[in-house]
Structure 1
């Protein structure tokens, strides 16, 4: 394993003097090469020119920001041009900086280009923040060279590259920065009250932005509670600071972004009373721990933790039973079966491995290897500070791997921790190049092991093996369909028609809202259940399409005309190519677009 290959290698000034990388310029040149090869640069032109964003969530975020700038209330997150005007569960705390960048760019770039500039700039600002957090955390314990190598390792991660690529204005990158900073605040021997307060505030920010990182926050709280249980008052300051900050900052952020009318409303998918209850429970538990007499033993401390834990869990079950099943409460089986489990970020590891084995290798193996290496380092490391950092890194990576096996998005936060171990590993491998007595085979093995946490190395390996190279035809067809039919020009061509309500496939909804003046029946968001049901029913059976369109009072029906493999074509694909003519509809010719358009036939019943 990587750590076992490098037990004798040392970082620091002496090792650097004996290394071919003793010159900072060479190390930073390597980092620059990694940045140049960072995923996403090629798409900047399309973002600036056509607002071609990487994902439907990025598109909907920009729609939400555009509504805010157009005068929609800070507290009003309803999508007025979506049938039923469902409220989004995303945070205005992410909308605000994106909107601010647009306002800054408008005077010299114009309204349209300003949106593209903001979409490019915001994830790059966050990338710089992540790089600063990463560099500082590694530099403190391992020196500048290991910290620089950590930055290089970050540029080699396919997950990190995807999270911070230009156009990624979704909230996952904000959460990633918050959770990595949280872990680094606590991952030090002798953590203080201030460290705990900082970590608790970052946890509250992450929860306000979205609940996806909740397991990492819970792990941090449990670890702090466990350390207090073992060491007593010596470990109380960070535990107290974390609990109090989480219990106080989370409600403050909730009030900032939530309309007063919704303060008592239960939302299982966003920061709301159920999660505020747990945050408050954490604060009260830490406060109770601080009031215990110093002479109380571990048994009594355990009793307090158990009592507080049972009260928190029992209150949650009693007051908010609907949230026990998770954020997707009330979702019909049709939507769960035909849409939710097919969303790319919700795919299990085995499914991704079957459809895109190269991405599965590059995504999962670095996290697994990093988890093993960090665990070994935490166990066998010489310095207490390094062991503490590696223990925190190992915990985050193992948790992310456990979350990522059933759902790909579990890797998002975890992958950002891989450079924390990859940088020091590469630093020590480089030190071996001129270490007296180190054999060539050991040097090569050490370098190979230190590069194993780099996802792009696995992409390169997969490209050399035909059985592992590239996504399958279904995923490639889906990518082509998104780029072709969601293109700004393709959607804008529909504006020759009077504004109306469009019934289309679910994933086309955000592009229709961003690039055109029409409303939509469906978009890929779980709070818009009636629209999801209608779109699934309509494009599952061509004979039912007209009836569903009448039921939802759609003015137009739109399908994508894009090449596809007949072996993987759905009914919707065949409708889009004109292979199936839906009964009860009449075609509407629209030039200069790959989209096919129909309207309900004259005399058709409207529900």
Structure 2
């Protein structure tokens, strides 16, 4: 009888392990679609952009589809007359272009782009659920897959980087981060060394998109090295596999995204010579260590060997661009950093949100709970499982530390934390095998809700920025640009935060946009708005500006007015009439647009 009771108690867990994964992913996707339906409608009906990077990505996509060269990353209408060479790559443009061309077979170009902007984040979200389930299965067991999908859904990615209309690089980067750690953990098994070679592919592709995952990848790169340090020659095959993967995929992604004419250039903010040299030197060092494994039988020898490899990789980096070792935005003008970047919500440190405790707790607490779960599971397990959980704990810790500097890192680290919590939920499920099935799953489900970002936000009634930019500023709404778009193409000086939307919604050129490489154009706009009107006129004429645009309520407007109460921005905000400006009336528009009068 007791055996039958035990078998009956195990049925729910067995059923959870056998349920097809789609049975969890499909409802999660349906729930995400319902929760974000208003935003999807706005993208479909009006073509709204909810983030400057999405607007700029659309501009870049249109240029590519119009025939701009693959390696030419110049934004032609930004910072005239020469344009600005962006730090982005074509990796994200590729699936977007494929979707746009597909939908363009039966839709008008404008609608094809809008459907692309809806389909892309939705497909990315589906892939995130699948990758989270795979990674949870690697770290725990099959029952953890369902918990992972449920917890990732409750982490509300559809409100942040996977929201309808989001076509920037952040969602792909989160996917590649999850894939890298899932494959690295999978490849730690002695019989699966090829998984480590495969892990090098998403890692290299992520670097080709942007460098924001580097803090996490330090853990991924160190994992096979630490394994070799601990196990010696028994881990040599896995170390060699990882090294070969890096030697194959890093040069491939570099060659696919960097123009041959730029192979020798080093950039701190994009995949460049300094990064590929360090990766290749490190990979060759790993391969050499694997080949020399029989001679490195003692721990001290392996420590020396790994130390030499690390020193060689670091030396290759420092020899190319020592200034890149710190802040990748080191070249950003200090005034722009103060008046623009410091006001960008996602670039603010965590401490900037102490005035909203609900937001702070719902954002940070789930990641800390995931870290605690990963550490507890590492302590509880033995052998390979312990090592895997320790790696995940290290990645979560790195992510949380980075988020103290810029809060946007939470969108990358939170899915990893949810995987750790899924492992804890699976362990709890095994512990509660004696509890009635209905009560058991109800208990675990409620606990998942209470430790998730969405559950905490609802419980604490956060009305902060848990769903960023839901409240649209009139200055960035699609309808505001119709009158401006009807004007003949001109060179516009406008606040920094409006530049990408002007490019996306109108045919005009703009000097300023929220991109750190645009020091010249952004500084021109900031200097002009800060200067007293007579000095501002001289700056605008010298730059060849034709139109001046002001909109009350922009992100940087208050900072400009506060910095210079007698400056041009303050005068425009007060509605003063200036002799060198002629106002252009626009119906139903929040913009104040002025043409520069002919010089006297």
> What do the CA deviations read for 1:381-419 (whole angstroms, capped 9, x no partner)?
3x6554344223212111100110011122232112122
1:311 corresponds in structure 2 to 312
Cα distance in structure 2, aligned partners of 1:162 and 1:291:
45
Helix, strand or coil: the match of 1:497? coil
For 1:517, what is the secondary structure of its paired residue? coil
Hey, what's the Cα distance between the residues in 2 that align with 1:140 and 1:221?
A: 18
2:124 counterpart of 1:126: yes
For residues 20-99 of structure 1, the aligned pairs below 5 Å read 28=23, 32=27, 35-37=30-32, 40-83=36-79, 84-99=82-97
Other-structure match for 2:394: 395
3-state DSSP of counterpart to 2:92: helix
Change in 2 beyond 3 A, CA 1:92/1:569: closer
Q: How much does 1:484 deviate?
A: 1.8
Are the structure 2 counterparts of residues 581 and 325 from structure 1 closer, same or farther at C-alpha, using a change threshold of 3 Å?
A: farther
Q: Return closer, same or farther for 1:236/1:451 CA change in 2, 3 Å cut-off.
A: farther
Q: Secondary structure at the match of 1:370?
A: helix
The answer on 1:211 being equivalent to 2:201 is no
In the alignment, what sits opposite 2:591? Answer: 595
- In structure 2, how many angstroms separate the alpha carbons of the residues matched to 1:512 and 1:594? 14
Task: Give per-residue Cα distances to partners, 1:425-472, cap 9 Å, x unaligned.
Answer: 33455666673599x9x9998766544431011111221xxxx54359
Partners in 2 of 1:44 and 1:86 — Cα distance? Answer: 31
Equivalences for residues 481-500 of structure 1 within 5 A: 483-500=473-490
Confirm or deny: 8 A CA contact 1:141 1:385 kept in the other structure.
no
Within a 5 Å distance, the mapping from 1:184-263 to structure 2 comes to 184-188=182-186, 189-191=188-190, 192-263=192-263
Q: C-alpha distance in 1, partners of 2:185/2:361?
A: 29
Of the three residues 103, 108, 111, the one matched with 1:110 is: 108
Aligned partner of residue 549 in structure 2, secondary structure: strand
- Distance in 2 separating the partners of 1:409 and 1:133: 21
Preserved CA contact (<8 Å) 1:35 1:155:
no
Moved more, 63-72 or 427-436: 427-436
Structure 2 partner of 1:6:
none
1:304-343 counterparts in 2 under 5 A?
304-343=305-344
Question: Residue 561 of structure 1 contacts residue 573 of structure 1 at CA under 8 Å; is this kept in 2?
Answer: no
Secondary structure of the residue aligned to 2:530 is coil
Give the CA deviation at 1:499: 1.0
- Larger mean Cα displacement after TM superposition, 210-219 or 143-152: 143-152
Q: CA 1:539–1:103 in structure 2 vs 1: closer, same or farther (change >3 Å)?
A: same
Seen in structure 2, the aligned counterparts of structure 1 residues 13 and 129 have a Cα distance that, compared at 3 Å, is farther
How big is the shift at 1:103? Answer: 0.7
Q: Distance in 2 between matches of 1:583 and 1:488?
A: 31
- SS of the aligned residue for 2:593 comes to strand
Whole-angstrom distance in 1 between the partners of 2:334 and 2:547: 27
Alignment partner of 1:150 out of 148, 151, 170: 148
Question: Alpha-carbon deviation of 1:102?
Answer: 0.6
The CA deviation at 1:576 is: 6.0
Instruction: State the TM-score, normalizing by the size of structure 1.
Output: 0.87
Deviations 1:569-588 (A, max 9, x none): 94688666554445632211
Residue 299 (structure 1) aligned with residue 290 (structure 2): no
State TM-score, norm by structure 2: 0.88
Instruction: Report how many aligned residue pairs link the two structures.
Output: 582
In structure 2, what is the Cα distance between the partners aligned to 1:567 and 1:97?
38
Does the 8 Å CA contact 2:21/2:145 hold for their aligned counterparts?
Answer: no
Rounded Cα–Cα distance in structure 2 between residues aligned with 1:30 and 1:206:
24
Contact kept, 8 Å, 1:134 with 1:150, in 2: the verdict is: yes
**Match for residue 464 of structure 2 among 455, 466, 470:** 470
Q: Which digits, 9 at most, give the CA deviation of each residue in 1:258-298, with x for residues without a partner?
A: 22211111111111110001111221111111221415211
- Asked whether the 8 Å contact 1:542–1:580 carries over to 2, the reply is no
Matched, 1:555 2:532: no
Q: Describe the superposition over 1:280-337 as per-residue Cα deviations: whole angstroms up to 9, x where unpaired.
A: 1221111111221415211111111112222222232222223233322332211122
Any unmatched runs of 5+ in structure 1?
A: 1-10
Q: CA deviation at 1:361?
A: 2.1
Paired residue secondary structure (1:107): coil
Question: Contact (CA 8 Å) 1:490, 1:595: kept in 2 or not?
Answer: yes
Distance 1:259 1:436, change over 3 A: closer
Aligned 8 A contact 1:357 1:469 in 2? no
In structure 2, the residue matched to 1:423 is 422
8 A Cα contact 2:141 2:426, kept in partner: no
**2:25–2:149: 8 Å Cα contact kept in structure 1?**
no
> Contact 2:274–2:317 (CA<8 Å) still a contact in 1?
yes
* 3-state DSSP of counterpart to 2:105: helix
Q: Given the superposition, is the C-alpha separation of residues 277 and 324 from structure 1 closer, same or farther in structure 2, using an over 3 Å criterion? A: same
Equivalent residue of 1:526, what SS? coil
The CA RMSD over aligned residues, in Å, is: 3.4
Distance change (3 Å), C-alpha of 1:425 and 1:258: same
Instruction: State how far apart, in whole Å, the 2-side matches of 1:591 and 1:457 are.
Output: 44
Secondary structure of the equivalent of 1:82?
coil
Displacement after TM superposition at 1:26 (Å): 13
Contact 1:430 1:447 in 2 (8 A): no
Give, in whole Å, the separation in 2 of the partners of 1:387 and 1:375. Answer: 9
Contact 2:128 2:175 in 1 (8 A): yes
Which residue of the partner structure matches residue 177 of structure 2?
179
Alpha-carbon separation, structure 1, partners of 2:14 and 2:497: 52
Paired residues of 1:246 and 1:282 also in contact (CA < 8 A)? no
- Is the Cα–Cα contact under 8 Å of residues 17 and 142 in structure 2 kept in the other structure? no
